[in-house]
Amino acid sequence: MKILIAPDSFKSALTAKEAAEAIAKGIKSVLPEAQIIMIPLADGGEGTVDALVSATGGTLLPVTVKDPLLRNITACYGILGDKNTAVIEMASASGLALLDQAKLDPLRASSYGTGQLIKAALDKGCKKIIIGLGGSATNDGGLGMLSALGVKFYNDTGQDSSIGGQGLLDLAAIDLSNLDKRIAATEFIAACDVKNPLTGPEGATYIFGPQKGVTESMLKRLDGSMARYGKMIEALTGMDVDKIPGAGAAGGLGAAVSAFLRADMQSGIELVMQLVDLEENIAEVDLVFTGEGRIDAQTSYGKTLWGLAGLAKKYGTPVIALTGSIGTGIEVLFNNGFTGIFAIADRPLNLEQSIKESASLLESAAQRITLLVHHLFENFKRQ
């Protein structure tokens, strides 16, 4: 039997690669002769760099950058197997996971470290850069990222206005004269799994701001400053960024990369699936195992597992999904290629236990389901 294992990450518990290895261990305990292909997946957010580097035989490169509060940290970007394409997760430098809940500060949080990662890739001579938008701690419209690449932002008194949401509130002028000249000769792709506009009730601030610390009293002011920023971008570039699906991703970073880096906005999962040759592998296997931390109705909103299952349905390949938590509304998933969806817990567990034991629980669940699949397959052969 030929089996493809292609999970997303189990957030706060396992990377996609670690999840794939746990599932493989469970399968192999039942079917030691099975031919297993492992392709960890991501949708532009956490795990995108690891997934693409692993699938293409690339390399990870560590860089010292600034975190959202401008403290030094080490973040990695990847160079794919073609040695010409870099892949960056903005979350690795400017992500929500880098801050404790008590440290969330949308007026200070900056995307500067993401710009440093882009600059490092340019310094390496990369002519194509993929930027995964997702999981940001910022609501700065990409001011920090652009500042690291040479753009100057000023307030009414001519002082620097590049730091966080406060920078947007105070922004009066943008100077592009020192924008890194290498950007014009570089192809940029923004991998994004949301379609939110820059502003308004569905925009960056109202939809994603509260999880980053934006309070009710800040919402209107920050959204208004984001709208004013959008008009300034249009005056400089001729691009109405608020009409671009995904401009509101990553605290407005989508707008910045679209307008100033001329990035092509693409579905994160579709891009990843293409680069890892997922369809070609699905077409050749008998069974697919996948999984992520939670599966519910939102899985159908263009997320990783939704894209995978759609491909599998095209080839009639069964898809088994393993998850830490099953939410409501999963019925729609069974119409898009999911064969079975199973929670991995084997007893009542609190969140801390679930995270700590996630690898062993995933392995055990894969073992149990493989036993069932093998039994059914053998009975089918005998009939």
Residue boundaries of the structural domains of the chain: 2-40+278-382, 48-269
Q: What is the pLDDT of residues 299-342, one digit of tens each?
A: 887 778 998 999 999 999 999 999 999 999 999 999 999 999 99
pTM value? 0.85
pLDDT given at position 42 = 83
The domain defined by 2-40+278-382 folds into Rossmann fold (3.40.50)
Alpha-carbon span 370 to 66, nearest angstrom: 45
Percent share of the chain, pLDDT over 70: 98
Where does the chain have alpha helices with state H?
16-30, 48-56, 90-94, 112-123, 143-148, 164-170, 216-237, 249-260, 268-275, 278-282, 304-315, 351-356, 358-382
- The first and second tokens of residue 54, run together, are 């692993």
Asked if the 48-269 domain carries CATH number 3.90.1510.10, the reply is yes
Alpha-carbon span 173 to 233, nearest angstrom: 10
**Which of 37, 23, 30 is closest to 320 using CA atoms?**
23
pLDDT given at position 301 = 75
Q: What is the pLDDT of residues 43-66, one digit of tens each?
A: 777 788 988 998 889 999 999 999
- The first and second tokens of residue 210, run together, are 């509260």
Alpha-carbon span 287 to 251, nearest angstrom: 38
Kindly give the pairing relationship between strand 264-267 and strand 187-192: parallel
DSSP state of 302: T
All residue ranges of the chain with pLDDT < 50 are none
pLDDT given at position 254 = 96
Which residues, at least 6 apart from 137, have a Cβ–Cβ distance to it below 8 Å?
68, 94, 95, 96, 98, 99, 104, 109, 212, 251
